[in-house]
Amino acid sequence: MNDINVWGLTEKEIDTTKYSLNATLFALGNGYIGTRGNFEEGLELEEYDGTFINGFYDYYDLSYGEKYKGYPSRSHAMLNVTNGKKIDIYINGELFNVEKGTTKDYIREINFRKGVLTRKLTWISPRGDEISFESERLISFYEKHLLLSKVKITPINFDGSIKIISSINGNVKNITKENDPRIGVEFNGDELRVIKSSIDDNIGKIISRTKSSDLGLVCVMSNRLDCTGECSTSYTEYNELVSHTYDVKAMKNEPIILQKYVLYKTYKYVEDNIEKITSDNLIILLKEVMDNGYKFYKCKQKDYLDEFWYNSDISIDGDDSVQQGVRFNMYHLLQSVGRDGLTNISAKGLTGEGYEGHYFWDTEIYILPFFIYTNPDIAKELVEYRYNLLEAARKRGKEMQYDKGALYPWRTINGEECSAYFPAGTAQYHINADIAYSICKYIEASEDEDFLVEKGVEILVETARLWLEIGQFNDDGKFHICCVTGPDEYTAIVNNNVYTNFMAANNLKNAYEAVIFLKNKYPLKYRELADNLNIDEVEINKFHEAYINIYIPYDEDKKIYPQDDSFFQKPAWDFEKSKGKYPLLMHYHPINIYRAQVCKQADLILLEFILNDLFDDKQKKRDYDYYEKITTHDSSLSTCIFSIMANELGYYHKAYDYFIHSVRTDIDDIHNNTTAGVHTANMAGTWMSIIFGFGGMREEKGMLRFSPHLPEKWTSYSFRISFKGRKILVSVDEKGVEYKLLNGDPIVIYNKEEKLELKR
């Protein structure tokens, strides 16, 4: 599709068979707005366009053959919102369309350092009129409500008429359910309804309202045209679309430049005039951004990205395709992540409608480490999001008939559970422990004690309480947790999933220690929390008793951990019979998969990475050798973990093979579903594969340890880590490793077993 552009993605020919895929790859976003990389003028073959607002959703009813207590009655999904990209162009009455006429000198590029999507081409109409066309698009990191476009049209061989129609279109729909359950939603097409539209005095406005969720959206547009020829303008409001039309008497070799400013703002119905307040404020902002101008925001875009890449970049010498893939993945993570404490990052980011825009455990286990160790300010907003949904998690716990504690939803946007299939949804209670774990990792790396005191302890206590609700002490004196599903979704509703039990113990331990810390250092805050949550010594001691007595199944004959109590009692999966039938869930009934020893993704192997210091090298090797043979990697979350652990065990060739599978998953469309959106967890997993895999970084007892390895195909690589207010540069080449403290106070780290003190 492209040359190897290590700081961007380049397309040098139009391949209409890959148009929808490339709409994902060339998508833009800023964590609030996201829009797919469709052409401004569109194509007739277009499968679907898409513009999304993080956290903007509507409800739909869930239907069941048999509905039981605790089943969610409704789900919600991210909406496709008002299209602000559309610009139609007529050349002497002929519609500019690259599917017709002749296109040459085509190039499209997204630049990761500038944050701008550009397209250039020469087009010859069916009648022979030739133009040069250039476009730019950016979604501002500086002003989160702003989508900016610029097009430049230059007649090459004629004087004549050029008409430009700049529109915002509120008549949009989501894609609906297909045979693939991972794509589409059960909407009827009227979830986002235009209630007002107008255009006057160069301000176009569409106000829309959701059908069920009481959310509103205001979209406003203004345009600026620069040309030398005569120009007349007109406004149109028709069928949920408002347009500004320019009729230009074009002259050969004289460019016509249109700048388009579009703003989006959502609101919740909390008072009668909130719609007017939002609309008025947005128009004030529109006038401000028009005054600032296009160049201002283009410069601010680069300034923002300069800082991001200083904090985050991984430099690789020796493989340009890998270098491109790594930066592509990090750039999309930045474009997709919410930064307001109220929104998160979905499995597909803001690039498509796969998985309905829902947030999963992916954030905590895969994505948060990237932000914790590169951009801790963004990481804080992600943990704030979970705190802001704590009350909804308590409510969900009550719906599931638990007296105490919070149960975080498996998939959600607003805190309500959206999973209609409980064996691979609600039963994955490990999400509670995943959230608790990630909060502790954030606090350890950032030393944000204020967050721990004000919010973190509360989350740890409420998540820990749930384990006491669903687990029990058996006659053996051990604490058992039954009827859960671990990370591996091909093994459901089991007793004592090893990952879940270890992570639950970690949750209970951290909750116990956090309460003791609060009681000793902040007694007034402890008393306030104890009163609000009705905490007493008996309950806190139960946390301690449960975690030190957690039951962990182990096979003494094999000297490996079964994934759960019954895993080794199941027959081996017939991999010969299932050749070419992947992912298995698309070819086999779930119950047939559940009955066999087969894994969709890393489960026990993920645990041995996360809680690394609890397992010795021999144990990790035995487990890895066993589970690698029975794991299909049908989930994009899997190969990065197997790469990390292969590096730790010295399986360097395997590590690199798994890494290569991860690093270009979306660019090369390895899972054949990137048209529905990128795989954000895998993207972060690529970063983890380098930092924790090849770099061998581990955090142990509040200190960083590195055990770097240089892949055979690379001559060097380097990365930066933010840790406890310091920034550390790690550089690895054929000669060895070098550590530099770029800012902050001196710090002690370890290179394998060697203790080093870094000073500036």
Last residue of a domain, one of 241, 275, 290: 290
Q: 702 burial class (0-12, 13-18, 19+ CB within 10 angstroms)?
A: exposed
Which pLDDT does position 559 carry in this prediction?
Answer: 98
Beta strands in 435-482 (DSSP E): 471-473, 479-481
- Report the C-alpha gap between 258 and 245 in whole angstroms: 11
Q: Write the CB contacts of 625 (distance below 8 Å, at least 6 apart in sequence).
A: none
Nearest CA-CA partner of 311 in 738, 687, 635: 687
* Res. 202: pLDDT tops 90: yes
* Res. 591: pLDDT tops 90: yes
Two structure tokens written together for 181: 């359950």
- Report the C-alpha gap between 442 and 421 in whole angstroms: 31
End-to-end CA, the chain:
44
Confidence of residue 176 (pLDDT cuts 50, 70, 90): confident
Confidence of residue 2 (pLDDT cuts 50, 70, 90): very low
Long-range contacts of 655-660 (CB under 8 A, 24+ apart): 655/689, 655/693, 655/694, 655/711, 656/711, 656/712, 656/713, 658/689, 659/686, 659/689, 659/690, 659/693, 659/694, 660/322
Beta strands in 520-594 (DSSP E): none
Please write the tens of the pLDDT for every residue from 371-412.
999 999 999 999 999 999 999 999 999 999 999 999 999 999
Outline where 102-165 has alpha helix (H): none
Q: Please, are residues 258 and 225 in contact by the beta-carbon 8 Å criterion? A: yes
At residue 119, the 3 state secondary structure works out as strand
Is 500 part of any domain?
no
Which pLDDT does position 178 carry in this prediction?
Answer: 59
The answer on whether 395 is annotated among ligand-binding residues is no
- Report the C-alpha gap between 739 and 245 in whole angstroms: 58
Q: Please, are residues 114 and 251 in contact by the beta-carbon 8 Å criterion? A: no
Question: What is the mean predicted confidence (pLDDT) over 742-754?
Answer: 96
Two structure tokens written together for 250: 């074009």
Half-sphere exposure of 202 (CA within 13 A, CB side): 13
Last residue of a domain, one of 240, 259, 290: 290
Is 538 part of any domain?
no
Examine the domain organization and report whether 19 and 89 are in the same domain.
Answer: yes
Is 428 part of any domain?
no
Q: Please, are residues 54 and 91 in contact by the beta-carbon 8 Å criterion? A: no
Please write the tens of the pLDDT for every residue from 338-347.
999 999 999 9
Confidence of residue 188 (pLDDT cuts 50, 70, 90): confident
Is 499 part of any domain?
no
The answer on whether 211 is annotated among ligand-binding residues is no
Tally of structural domains, the chain: 2
Helix 376-388 vs helix 457-470: angle between axes, to the nearest 10 degrees? 50
- Report the C-alpha gap between 139 and 155 in whole angstroms: 28
Which pLDDT does position 16 carry in this prediction?
Answer: 87
Is 511 part of any domain?
no
The CA distances from residue 335 to 26, 111, 174, 330, 360, in Å, are 11, 13, 21, 9, 18
- Report the C-alpha gap between 400 and 392 in whole angstroms: 13
Please write the tens of the pLDDT for every residue from 225-258.
999 989 999 999 988 999 999 999 999 999 999 9
For residue 602, the one-letter residue type is: A
The answer on whether 362 is annotated among ligand-binding residues is yes
In angstroms and rounded to an integer, the radius of gyration of the C-alpha atoms of the chain is 27
| Residue ranges making up the domain that contains 714 | 313-352+652-760
What is the helix (H) or strand (E) element at residue 469, kind and residue range? Answer: helix 457-470
Two structure tokens written together for 152: 């430049």
Q: Is the peptide bond before 583 cis (omega within 30 degrees of 0)?
A: yes
- Report the C-alpha gap between 325 and 26 in whole angstroms: 13
Question: What is the mean predicted confidence (pLDDT) over 703-719?
Answer: 97
Question: What is the mean predicted confidence (pLDDT) over 622-641?
Answer: 97
Which pLDDT does position 186 carry in this prediction?
Answer: 75
For residue 534, the one-letter residue type is: N
CA 36 to chain CA centroid, Å, is 15
The answer on whether 361 is annotated among ligand-binding residues is yes
Examine the domain organization and report whether 317 and 171 are in the same domain.
Answer: no
CATH number of residue 697's parent domain: 2.60.420.10
Determine whether 489 is an active site residue. yes
Average pLDDT for the chain: 96
**Does residue 458 or residue 45 have the better pLDDT?**
458
- Report the C-alpha gap between 180 and 186 in whole angstroms: 13
Q: Please, are residues 678 and 351 in contact by the beta-carbon 8 Å criterion? A: yes
Please write the tens of the pLDDT for every residue from 128-168.
999 999 999 999 999 999 999 999 999 999 999 999 999 99
The CA distances from residue 428 to 345, 421, 486, 500, in Å, are 19, 11, 6, 9
Is 29 part of any domain?
yes
Examine the domain organization and report whether 240 and 344 are in the same domain.
Answer: no
Given the DSSP bridges, would you call strands 747-751 and 703-706 parallel, antiparallel or unpaired? parallel
Is 601 part of any domain?
no
Question: What is the mean predicted confidence (pLDDT) over 555-570?
Answer: 98
Examine the domain organization and report whether 323 and 260 are in the same domain.
Answer: no
Examine the domain organization and report whether 692 and 726 are in the same domain.
Answer: yes
Confidence of residue 701 (pLDDT cuts 50, 70, 90): confident
Examine the domain organization and report whether 89 and 191 are in the same domain.
Answer: yes
For residue 200, the one-letter residue type is: D
Examine the domain organization and report whether 125 and 37 are in the same domain.
Answer: yes
Q: Which of 136, 489, 608, 648 is catalytic?
A: 489
What is the helix (H) or strand (E) element at residue 46, kind and residue range? Answer: none
Examine the domain organization and report whether 177 and 258 are in the same domain.
Answer: yes
* Res. 703: pLDDT tops 50: yes
Which pLDDT does position 143 carry in this prediction?
Answer: 98
* Res. 15: pLDDT tops 60: yes
- Report the C-alpha gap between 482 and 502 in whole angstroms: 13
Q: Please, are residues 117 and 23 in contact by the beta-carbon 8 Å criterion? A: no
- The C-alpha angle 662, 664, 666, rounded to 5 degrees, equals 100
Q: Please, are residues 454 and 387 in contact by the beta-carbon 8 Å criterion? A: no
* Bridge partners (DSSP) listed for residue 147: 139, 262
* Res. 272: pLDDT tops 90: no
Examine the domain organization and report whether 251 and 339 are in the same domain.
Answer: no
Question: What is the mean predicted confidence (pLDDT) over 581-587?
Answer: 94
Nearest CA-CA partner of 529 in 450, 464, 455, 437: 455
Two structure tokens written together for 257: 């430049």
Examine the domain organization and report whether 196 and 320 are in the same domain.
Answer: no
Give percent of the chain with pLDDT exceeding 90.
Answer: 94
Maximum distance among all Cα pairs of the chain, rounded to whole angstroms? 91
Q: Write the CB contacts of 42 (distance below 8 Å, at least 6 apart in sequence).
A: 49, 86
Confidence of residue 554 (pLDDT cuts 50, 70, 90): very high
Nearest CA-CA partner of 85 in 22, 152, 148: 148
Q: Please, are residues 726 and 740 in contact by the beta-carbon 8 Å criterion? A: no
Please write the tens of the pLDDT for every residue from 78-137.
999 999 999 999 999 999 999 999 999 999 999 999 999 999 999 999 999 999 999 999
Two structure tokens written together for 524: 């007034």
Is 560 part of any domain?
no
- Report the C-alpha gap between 401 and 68 in whole angstroms: 12
Q: Please, are residues 624 and 605 in contact by the beta-carbon 8 Å criterion? A: yes
Q: Please, are residues 371 and 31 in contact by the beta-carbon 8 Å criterion? A: no
Examine the domain organization and report whether 151 and 279 are in the same domain.
Answer: yes
Confidence of residue 183 (pLDDT cuts 50, 70, 90): low
Q: Write the CB contacts of 186 (distance below 8 Å, at least 6 apart in sequence).
A: 60, 75, 176, 177
Question: Cβ of 40: how many Cβ atoms within 10 Å?
Answer: 20
- Report the C-alpha gap between 312 and 372 in whole angstroms: 11
Examine the domain organization and report whether 133 and 265 are in the same domain.
Answer: yes
Confidence of residue 1 (pLDDT cuts 50, 70, 90): very low
Half-sphere exposure of 229 (CA within 13 A, CB side): 23
Q: Please, are residues 627 and 284 in contact by the beta-carbon 8 Å criterion? A: no
Give percent of the chain with pLDDT exceeding 70.
Answer: 98
Which pLDDT does position 649 carry in this prediction?
Answer: 98
CATH number of residue 236's parent domain: 2.70.98.40
Last residue of a domain, one of 241, 257, 290: 290
* Res. 179: pLDDT tops 70: no
Nearest CA-CA partner of 202 in 280, 144, 286, 266: 286
**In the 8-state DSSP scheme, what is residue 219?**
E
